Amino acid sequence: MSLLFSKYTLGSPKGGLELSNRIVVAPMCQYSSADGAATDWHLMHWGNLLNSGAGLFIIEATGVLPEARITPVCLGLWDERTEAALKDKLTRARALAPAVPVFIQLSHAGRKGSSASPWHGGQLIDEGAGGWQASAPSAVPQLPNEKPPRAFTPDEIQDLIQAFVIAAQRAERIGIDGVELHGAHGYLLHQFLSPIANHRTDQYGGSFENRIRLVIELFTAVRAAYQGVLGIRLSACDWVEGGWTPEETAELALRLKSLGCNYVHVSSGGVSHLQKIAIGPNYQVSFAKLVKEKSGLPTMAVGLITDPHQAEAILQAGDADLIALARAFLYKPRWAWEAAAALQGEVTASSQYWRCLPREAQAVFGAVRIGQR
């Protein structure tokens, strides 16, 4: 039997959340909000991916404050207006697709904030042109030619933690099934973890214990206020000498497990323009394996996993528990259907779609699922 198409349960204080398979649509920024509010683009995008056949869908990096966004057009969840917009679009998208658990990735961009959309160059935007003063652990810019960010004060760190707590509570009110804290790709939580970006000399910088302090305090606060599945995405390696390491990632994951963490989504890179990533198929799987072995937490492997048999082999080897794909789903929104046909698995599909497959492949929908939405 295919492990990729076997059920998997993620625990939480509310009890287990069962996924119909181990395929995850990873969070992908769409740069398509209206001052943080979800738009019709999100309605279309979410409805499409909720029809993908994946067992779990994670909404893109979502700013917990206006200044937490990467760009002025990034999604947000910081007030009643952004909460109402997200709820409206997600409720409508869910009505057009099979029942699929939905998580949201809560984020603060830190020194990567106030940037232009990728297709507009991705560079920092001046305050006079619609940008804002970015904040970070230290006044160290992402690129040498950029304006330095402003360093967080200890009091502002406590306000930041509270912003994540409130956003998680908003997500719970909306009916979202889980929260993923964004501690990867060079954004704020990763900036605190990495000595590349964190040059602080107070209790939040210097030693490993100090650099992980914000993540520990933030996770503890969110876990106390939020009862759904709670996980974290981490960059396991900075790919730069003297940066954050896979071993530190595994140790942090072990500590988060004791605080009630339910999974770790294992990625890498993003904090330094000097990174030398050894990119290729499965290039981050070894990190997921290490975190899983050292912490005992469920892990999601991600990064250039594009073939169903490749995904199956990762699970069969015990290197990860779930397989996350991002851009592969943009290119092939029905990737999971093809995987089901290749691995003799089953997916749920809207009745309007299931007839598209050749007769020999229609078994992937199963007699029980045909005609259901």
The catalytic residues are 187
Strands of the chain, DSSP E: 8-10, 17-19, 23-25, 56-63, 102-107, 135-136, 150-151, 178-183, 229-235, 263-267, 299-302, 322-325
Q: Tell me the two tokens of residue 118.
A: 């990728």
Among the listed residues 41, 20, 21, the one whose alpha carbon sits nearest the alpha carbon of residue 117: 41
Q: What are the beta bridge partners of residue 151? A: 136
Tell me the three state secondary structure of residue 146.
coil
Q: Are 86 and 93 in contact (CB under 8 A)?
A: no
Q: What are the beta bridge partners of residue 267? A: 235
**Residue count of the chain:** 373
Measured in degrees and rounded to the nearest 5, phi and psi for residue 3 equal -70, -35
Q: Are 287 and 266 in contact (CB under 8 A)?
A: yes
Q: What are the beta bridge partners of residue 23? A: 323
